[in-house]
Amino acid sequence: MSRSFHVAVAGATGAVGVEMLKTLEKRNFPVKSLRLLASSRSAGKEVTFKGETLKVEEMTKDSFKGIDIALFSAGASRTREFGPAAVEAGAVVIDNSSAFRMDPTVPLVVPEVNPEDVKKHHGLIANPNCTTIIMLVALKPLHDLSPIRRIVVSTYQSASGAGALAMQELKDQAGAYLRGEKVEPKVLPHPYAFNLFSHNTTIGDNLYCEEEMKMVNETRKIMHDDRIAVCPTCVRVPVLRSHAESIVIEQERKVSVDEALAALAKAPGVKIVNDTARNYFPMPVDSNEQYDVLVGRVRDDLSCDRGLALFVCGDQLLKGAALNAVQIAELL
């Protein structure tokens, strides 16, 4: 008889929390009981799961008694505050924030890339940053052909990465712009509709922003290779929920386009969209609400003898967050 689990979702009413609940239901995760947790503002809201109406509770340090798996998407400060209490209560915490990603004692896991790392947990497992997840699902099969030594990546990041309020702001601004009204940014620092701008995290002393440095550090940790050099540029674009990335890699040996496509075709979590005749490649509209990372535009890097270029798209709320967390729970 298969085991079922007492599950809690922390941040259950946020954009990622909502997708976590949908994903648990859609993938028929063996939930014995479900506890929905959020801030006091959301306490009392009702959510339907598998036909049953559940009430959202205010998250406290006592919320995790009897819980086996706690899916956290409540932000880094809330995870630092409540995560240790959940672990102490006996739960395994799978956290979507940056709170513990670079803690050497906490596994940072993409199930298609480093599933074996789940076994190393001490009650806490970190979900990587969305851009890193989407990139590495596409790059792992290529890294297996020949180790990747250098990555140059430019991201085209959707509003969902900044949460439900940013998604709503994009919708509101688009309407205002088309009506000829003045656009007033509130959630994000710049006008978002019909615009794009450098990712809005803090710029560090090395002139890279926090989002970019996440890609550098998380890639090396997940791939267990500190020699991988990463040069990222992260940009917000007016798209609702799917991230796109332009990636150029340099490998130890030359991998042909055909060899790369053959490896990608067999890779878990990858769907090839590479119709050169129709000029049809990965697009956010096609990756929205899809589990797979779309990969295409695979071609030789004309500037490097051992290089390949590719373009990828992935649903930020799903593979970039909720789905990856649920897949980790499935590994457990």
Q: List, by residue number, the catalytic residues.
A: 130, 243
Tokens of 108: 């940072």
Angstrom distance (rounded) from CA 116 to CA 107: 10
Angstrom distance (rounded) from CA 42 to CA 250: 47
Q: What's the distance, CA 280 to chain centroid? A: 24
**CA-to-CA dists, residue 75 to 12, 80, 126, angstroms:** 12, 9, 12
**CA-to-CA dists, residue 179 to 159, 176, 237, 262, 282, angstroms:** 21, 5, 21, 48, 31
**CA-to-CA dists, residue 102 to 105, 190, 319, angstroms:** 9, 30, 20
Tokens of 36: 């929905």
Closest CA to 182 of 195, 173, 170: 173
Q: What is the DSSP string of 279-302?
A: TB---HHHHTT-SSEEEEEEEE-T
**CA-to-CA dists, residue 82 to 69, 91, 100, angstroms:** 14, 12, 13
Closest CA to 324 of 127, 69, 49, 149: 127
Q: What's the distance, CA 31 to chain centroid? A: 23
Angstrom distance (rounded) from CA 294 to CA 296: 7
